[in-house]
Amino acid sequence: MKALRNFLDKVKPNFEEGGKLSAFRSVFDGFETFLFVPNTVSKNGTHIHDTIDSKRVMSIVVIALIPALLFGMYNVGYQNYLAAGTLEQASFLEVFIFGFLAVLPKIIVSYVVGLGIEFTVAQWKKEEIQEGFLVSGMLIPLIVPVECPLWVIAVATAFAVIFAKEIFGGTGYNIFNVALITRAFLFFAYPTKMSGDQVWVAKDSIFGLGNDLPEGFSGATTLGQLSTGSPVVDLANNGVELKDMIIGLLPGSIGETSVIAILIGAVILLWTGVANWRTMASVFVGGALTAMLFNAIGSTTNQVWNLDWMQHLAVGGFCFGAVFMATDPVTSPRTDCGKYIFGFLIGVVAIVIRCMNPGYPEGMMLAILLMNVFAALIDYCFVQHNINKRLKRINNR
Amino acid sequence: MSNLKDTFLTPLGLNNPVAVQVLGICSALAVTAQLEPAIVMGLSVTIILAVANVVISLLRNTIPNRIRIIVQLVVVATLVTIVSEVLKAFAYDVSVALSVYVGLIITNCILMGRLEAFAMQNGPIDSLIDGFGNGLGYAIILVIVAAIRELFGAGCLFGCQIIPDCVYELGYMNCGLMLMPPMALIILGCIIWFMRAKNPDLQEK
């Protein structure tokens, strides 16, 4: 640690004004403040001070994502070996390393493209590098199918960082969740690589690990099977129950399948106070109540309507969205009451899209993006309400 | 003479009706999925605008002020109907592709804007040039947006494949979002962004 500090202090003059590498000052500054907490604080204006700065907050979210990431890697391998029928012969390590090698390029692409754009913009505008992409860059690989091509992820990441973030003013000013815009772009621009039954299982072996699956091999997600009315089974043709959905060894986007892994992340986020429990809890309440409502109405043609509320919450990206996406402090409301409404409506809209729109088997992405639009309005209403209430109190005195 | 030249050239660039005045956005989003309908649409608006400008400019001293909008609408509606019939007769496929948007030229804000702002105050020759300038300014933006959308959305221009098959074999795919209206809005936004970055005068304070 000490050696790193000394090294940074030694090379620092090169990056200051007039130094040899002054063109890369913001890059250096970004790395230095990422590695060490800067000992400067804001001096003017009204600021709420905390002992940790936003780089540290972002790091906690990334740590909270690690269980989902590791499980996702294992699951990628598991699905491949299961599909080829060689799961029994393979060791745990083989399965995991195959998944690791399949997922790693996606993480690298997402970070290189996203941070590349952020660094370039910061350098160009002579600003500090903003840290917002640390989390988005980790979320993006977790919410895409494993067979999504890398260049497509690169295009979508670039689109999202430029159009959902930089043009609004950078980190902290974006209206929409950047990672979800990436996913939405992929979903609408390249639907064959984001939905259907062809993309959820890794099909090629890597460095001799894993199995080559036949070209037309299909493995739909549980929600996909439900929406097309086909029997709900995993790749080995065993029926899927609530227990399987919670463990999460099912086809799906890389990080979304396991409720347990996401729950560990949720505990980290809530314990450190980074994410707000109000949003998270109300998403689940909204989703559960809506699912019960659809259960009560019932349907003979659409089996999504009859899905038990617990299964609704456990399947697909519901948990992942509720824990990591809806709680994004930038795109959700600031007021406590607003958070309840915001979360509740996300849950409601997500289940409504699942049940009512057969074109979109999963509704979580669209639900969160839709409610992002209303976050500021919800805040405005509650703030105005409070102002009026207090004014009344003064006037009545 | 230089005055006429300015009248013709400023709508093509610094005072472009779409990119600077932000008029006529609706049709710019709706008809730009392919290049051919976009060009036809641009030309239709140019012709209608030029002729309507001349007619209104000739009538401008006899139109009672209170009913001028009605008179302008009658002139524009007549011309739109003629253009629509001509398209149906000679370019049926394109007229099907444009569907209601030919009829909706009547509601294009560029038309009313030019008639009110220019033809009511200027002589017929100036008005003719102004109509052509603004119509072509609109057409240029449509063509740029349509070219980008058709090239990346369908891999073709004018319906002919431009992106070679070998690129597709490498894994390239057409971007489906390009064919949807939201992407047209984003491309239009980029054009406006580009123009304002080039000409700082256009930026609002």
What is the residue extent of each domain of chain B?
Answer: 2-147
Residues A7 and A98 in one domain: no
Tell me which chain B residues have a C-beta less than 8 angstroms from the C-beta of A191: 176
- Which of A149, A163, A192 comes nearest B186 by C-beta? A163
- Nearest residue of chain A to residue B186 (CA atoms): A163
Cβ distance A189 to B175 less than 8 Å, yes or no, reads: yes
Q: Does B120 touch chain A (CB under 8 A)?
A: no
Chain B residue with minimum CA distance to A191: B176
Which of A167, A188, A190 is opposite residue B180, by nearest beta carbon? A188
Could you tell me the residue range of the domain that residue A22 belongs to?
Answer: 2-35
Whether residue A19 is found in the same domain as residue A147: no
Q: A222 and A191, same structural domain?
A: yes
pLDDT in tens, A177-230: 999 999 999 988 888 887 777 778 877 777 777 777 777 777 778 787 877 777
Cα angle value A178/A179/A183 (rounded, 5°): 115
Scanning A257-363, the segments in alpha helix (DSSP H) are 259-272, 277-297, 309-314, 318-320, 336-356
In a 3-state reduction of DSSP, which class is residue A209?
Answer: strand
Closest CA to A325 of A353, A345, A346, A341: A346
The pTM assigned to this predicted structure is 0.85
Query: Is some CB atom of chain A closer than 8 A to the CB atom of B166?
Result: no
Backbone φ and ψ for A209, nearest 5 degrees, come out as -90, 155
| H or E, element range at B139 | helix B124-154
- DSSP tag of B157: E
A60 and A14 share a domain? Answer: no
With H, G, I as helix, E, B as strand and everything else as coil, classify residue B156: strand
B93 vs B58, B80, B106, B159, CA distance in Å? 35, 18, 21, 13
Number of domains in chain A: 2
* A9 lies in the same domain as A121: no
- List pLDDT tens digits, range A97-144: 888 988 999 999 999 999 888 888 887 877 777 777 888 889 999 999
Say if A83 falls within a structural domain.
yes
**Does one domain contain both A31 and A81?**
no
Q: Domain check: are A259 and A296 in the same one?
A: yes
Query: In terms of domains, do A131 and A20 share one?
Result: no
Cα angle: B117, vertex B123, B128; to 5 degrees:
75
Same domain, A282 and A188: yes
Same structural domain for residues A31 and A142? no
Please tell me the distance in Å from A245's CA to the nearest CA on chain B. Answer: 32
Backbone angles phi, psi at B160, to 5 degrees: -95, 140
Domain membership of residue A40 (yes or no) is no
Q: Which of B171, B176, B193 sits opposite A189 (nearest CB)?
A: B176
Q: Are residues A6 and A91 both part of a single domain?
A: no
Q: Is the same domain home to A258 and A131?
A: yes
- In tens, the pLDDT along A253-311 reads 888 888 999 999 999 999 988 888 999 999 999 999 999 998 888 777 777 888 888 88
Interface ipTM > 0.85: no
CA dist., res. A123 & res. A21, Å (int): 12
CB neighbour class for A300 (10 Å; exposed up to 12, middle 13-18, buried from 19): exposed
- Measuring CA to CA, how many Å separate A68 from each of A147, A255, A385? 18, 5, 40
pLDDT tens readout for residues A353-388: 988 887 777 889 999 999 999 999 999 999 999 999
